[in-house]
């Protein structure tokens, strides 16, 4: 059975939302908390270590019930069932979408279990030093060579869980920029470094070129035989990895039903296992699994990913918000936004619906942001007084990990103060100076989490994974393909040929041809 193919704008709920929006856009609701003392309590979801307050949004009871009706009309419930049951909902690639199966501890597939065991064994040997390099020394540095989903997830998680890290130093080579590669290699000793080549396809130009370069660098000290002690691969393309010279026992398989941007739960997470140990990795998977169950079972009105997705649709499609920000008040989460950008924008950056028809409504949200409180001193001016409406997620933790309560109190004071200032503005403050006046009424969600733990991080990531899925269902698009990245790859291949041949004659676009000539002749 294929996914429902319902144009959201043709539903009853959408039409009702349009009418409702005309009323809502006239309102200024800053004083809504005075009028309804129960509002903060009503628009919240408590779940395990999470407290989600979405009361500072431009919504009423009616908004929410119409959005929930929309979810019903586009058959979200059925779509969720289809995804979890392994139907091939990635129809344009004819694949199932089962990253949730990687953490389904009630029913782990034998191949998933086997890979987890292999990851556990291997990472333990690296961590405890029993795996020796070619001169008999233990490994001190682990380098993940991969890009996109084979980089952003592992990097985000290893940074986020820094508190749980062991002695190993973890590095990431993603960019094909040789300067970047050189900067990483210059501090590394081939005798004590493990390279993990991560590529689902093993055909990604940047990863293959970087892996080949690094192997040559290694071979200046070690022999071909030594490669087996220092290079392992993670891939769904086992033959490709073997061709590169990795022996079968050093290949960690992954399945084609795991999309790149959802793959950190798979063997792609090997660098995470090395960084924090298998038990912590497993705890993260369990946190995601718990969120999967919440998403599958909870009523939509109390369902965190569903409510967050519906609010986002409300702003994106009715208020025509151009983007949304994510600001985590935690230095640990400084790589969260780049990770989310791939997850959200590669998934939902589509303009053709599931019927193959061009879409005439807005899809894919633009996600941006950085950590707080830094962001307050950079772009918050625009959130407060700019002309654009930018709904923002604020993510914070109640407990610090290192016990520095004084700093944490300041951090959290800023965290709470900003959502209040964004909502309240200066209306109650009798400000006459127009430059110092704040409109307020800027929507935010507050995601307050007890503590940064592997478990809670797993749940947090899963919230955003499911949120984007819900939005894809509402927008009637296929969230799990990424054809939009292909054209650029093809053009880059032919451009590289022109560069290598020093001949721009086959380049058609005149701007590109001109630029290439300047580059080839070093004319500036």
Residues belonging to the active site = 346, 377, 489
Least gap, CB of 491 to ligand G6P (angstroms): 14
Least gap, CB of 426 to ligand G6P (angstroms): 44
Residue 47 phi, psi dihedral angles, 5° rounding: -150, 120
Residue among 4 and 349 whose Cβ is closer to ligand G6P: 349
Q: Among 8, 133, 149, 391, which residue interacts with ligand G6P (rule: CB under 6 A)?
A: 149
Residue 440 phi, psi dihedral angles, 5° rounding: 70, -160
Q: Rounded to an integer, what is the distance from CA 450 to the centroid of its chain? A: 21
The pair of structure tokens assigned to 98 is 């089962």
Least gap, CB of 339 to ligand G6P (angstroms): 11
Does 453 help bind ligand G6P (rule: CB under 6 A)? no
**How many whole angstroms separate alpha carbon 72 and alpha carbon 491?**
42
Least gap, CB of 191 to ligand G6P (angstroms): 28
Residue among 123 and 207 whose Cβ is closer to ligand G6P: 207
Least gap, CB of 342 to ligand G6P (angstroms): 7
Q: At what angle do helices 110-128 and 278-297 cross, to 10 degrees?
A: 150
**How many whole angstroms separate alpha carbon 353 and alpha carbon 351?**
7
Does 253 help bind ligand G6P (rule: CB under 6 A)? no
In the block, tokens 């709920």 appear at 13
Least gap, CB of 46 to ligand G6P (angstroms): 34
Site string for ligand G6P, 172-201 (x = CB under 6 A): ---------------------------xxx
Residue 17 phi, psi dihedral angles, 5° rounding: -65, -35
Residue among 346 and 353 whose Cβ is closer to ligand G6P: 346
Which among 134, 196, 139, 197 is positioned nearest to 168, based on CA atoms? 139
Could you tell me the CA-to-CA distances from 349 to 95, 344, 364, 471 in Å, in that order? 19, 8, 5, 11
Q: Among 133, 240, 260, 391, which residue interacts with ligand G6P (rule: CB under 6 A)?
A: 260
Three-point CA angle 188, 155, 253, nearest 5°: 90
Q: Among 375, 445, 482, 504, which residue interacts with ligand G6P (rule: CB under 6 A)?
A: 482
Applying the rule CB under 6 A, the residues between 373 and 392 that interact with ligand G6P are: none
Q: Rounded to an integer, what is the distance from CA 22 to the centroid of its chain? A: 34
Site string for ligand G6P, 97-136 (x = CB under 6 A): ----------------------------------------
| Residue 6 burial (10 A CB sphere; 0-12, 13-18, 19+) | middle
Least gap, CB of 186 to ligand G6P (angstroms): 25
Residue among 311 and 343 whose Cβ is closer to ligand G6P: 343
**How many whole angstroms separate alpha carbon 397 and alpha carbon 453?**
10
In the block, tokens 């590529």 appear at 199
Residue among 199 and 444 whose Cβ is closer to ligand G6P: 199
The pair of structure tokens assigned to 79 is 């779509």
Could you tell me the CA-to-CA distances from 186 to 63, 181, 183, 388 in Å, in that order? 57, 9, 6, 45
The pair of structure tokens assigned to 265 is 């739960």
Region of 145-153, 157-165, 303-311, 516-524 interacting with ligand G6P (CB under 6 A): 145-153
Least gap, CB of 147 to ligand G6P (angstroms): 5
Residue among 272 and 411 whose Cβ is closer to ligand G6P: 272
**How many whole angstroms separate alpha carbon 513 and alpha carbon 496?**
13
Q: 10: which residues sit within 8 A by CB, 6+ positions away?
A: none
**How many whole angstroms separate alpha carbon 476 and alpha carbon 489?**
27
Applying the rule CB under 6 A, the residues between 199 and 218 that interact with ligand G6P are: 199-201, 204, 207
The pair of structure tokens assigned to 13 is 């709920």
Least gap, CB of 181 to ligand G6P (angstroms): 16
**How many whole angstroms separate alpha carbon 270 and alpha carbon 515?**
41
Count other Cβ atoms within 10 Å, centred on residue 81: 13
Three-point CA angle 423, 424, 426, nearest 5°: 135
In the block, tokens 């586009």 appear at 74
| Cis bond upstream, residue 266 (ω within 30) | no
Residue among 199 and 280 whose Cβ is closer to ligand G6P: 199
Does 261 help bind ligand G6P (rule: CB under 6 A)? yes
DSSP 399: S
Residue among 345 and 371 whose Cβ is closer to ligand G6P: 345
Size of the site for ligand G6P (CB under 6 A): 15
Residue among 201 and 498 whose Cβ is closer to ligand G6P: 201
Which among 313, 454, 328, 323 is positioned nearest to 391, based on CA atoms? 323
Residue among 346 and 393 whose Cβ is closer to ligand G6P: 346
**How many whole angstroms separate alpha carbon 350 and alpha carbon 363?**
7
Does 148 help bind ligand G6P (rule: CB under 6 A)? yes
Region of 50-58, 147-155, 329-337, 399-407 interacting with ligand G6P (CB under 6 A): 147-155
Least gap, CB of 365 to ligand G6P (angstroms): 18
Applying the rule CB under 6 A, the residues between 316 and 375 that interact with ligand G6P are: 346
Where does this chain bind ligand G6P (CB under 6 A)?
Answer: 146-150, 199-201, 204, 207, 260-261, 346, 482, 485
């Amino acid at each position: 059975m294929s996914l429902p193919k319902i144009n959201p704008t043709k539903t009853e709920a959408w039409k009702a939302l349009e009418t409702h929006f005309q009323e809502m856009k006239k309102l200024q609701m800053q004083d809504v908390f005075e009028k309804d003392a129960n509002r903060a309590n009503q628009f919240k979801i408590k779940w395990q270590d999470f407290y989600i307050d979405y009361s500072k949004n431009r919504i009423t009871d009616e908004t929410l019930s119409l959005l929930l009706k929309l979810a019903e009309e586009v058959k979200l419930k059925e779509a969720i069932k289809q995804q979890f049951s392994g139907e091939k909902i990635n129809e344009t690639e004819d694949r199932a979408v089962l990253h949730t199966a990687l953490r389904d501890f009630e029913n782990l597939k034998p191949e998933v279990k086997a890979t987890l065991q292999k990851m556990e064994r291997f990472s333990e040997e690296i961590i405890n030093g029993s795996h020796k390099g070619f001169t008999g020394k233990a490994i001190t540095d682990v380098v993940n060579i991969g890009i996109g989903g084979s980089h952003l997830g592992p990097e985000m998680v290893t940074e986020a869980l820094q508190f749980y890290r062991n002695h190993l130093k973890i590095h990431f080579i993603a960019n094909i920029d040789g300067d970047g590669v050189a900067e990483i290699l210059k501090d590394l000793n081939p005798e004590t470094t493990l390279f993990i080549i991560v590529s689902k396809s093993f055909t990604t130009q940047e990863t293959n070129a970087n892996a080949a370069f690094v192997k040559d660098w290694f071979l200046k000290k070690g022999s071909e035989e030594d490669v087996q002690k220092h290079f392992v691969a993670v891939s769904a393309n086992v033959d490709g990895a073997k061709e590169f010279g990795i022996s079968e026992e050093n290949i960690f398989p992954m399945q084609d039903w795991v999309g790149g941007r959802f793959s950190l739960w798979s063997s792609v997470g090997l660098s995470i296992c090395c960084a924090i140990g298998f038990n912590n990795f497993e705890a993260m998977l369990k946190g995601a699994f718990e969120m999967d169950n919440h998403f599958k079972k909870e009523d939509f009105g109390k369902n965190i990913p569903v409510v967050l997705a519906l609010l986002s649709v409300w702003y994106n499609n009715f208020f025509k918000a151009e983007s949304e920000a994510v600001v985590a008040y935690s230095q640990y989460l400084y790589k969260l936004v780049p990770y989310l950008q791939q997850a959200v924008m590669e998934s939902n950056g589509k303009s053709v619906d599931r019927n193959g028809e061009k879409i005439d409504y807005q899809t894919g949200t633009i996600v941006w942001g950085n950590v707080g409180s830094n962001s307050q001193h950079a772009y918050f001016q625009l959130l407060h007084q700019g002309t654009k409406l930018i709904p923002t997620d604020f993510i914070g933790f109640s407990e610090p990990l290192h016990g520095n309560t004084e700093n944490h109190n300041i951090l959290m004071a800023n965290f709470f103060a900003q959502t209040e200032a964004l909502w309240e503005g200066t209306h109650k403050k009798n400000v006459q100076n127009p430059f110092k006046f704040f409109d307020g009424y800027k929507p935010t969600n507050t995601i307050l989490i007890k503590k940064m733990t592997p478990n809670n991080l797993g749940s947090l990531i899963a919230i955003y994974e499911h949120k984007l899925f819900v939005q894809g269902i509402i927008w009637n698009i296929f969230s799990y393909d990424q054809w939009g990245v292909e054209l650029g790859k093809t053009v880059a291949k032919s451009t590289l040929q022109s560069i290598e041949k020093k001949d721009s004659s086959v380049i058609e676009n005149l701007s590109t041809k001109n630029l290439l000539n300047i580059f080839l002749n070093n004319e500036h």
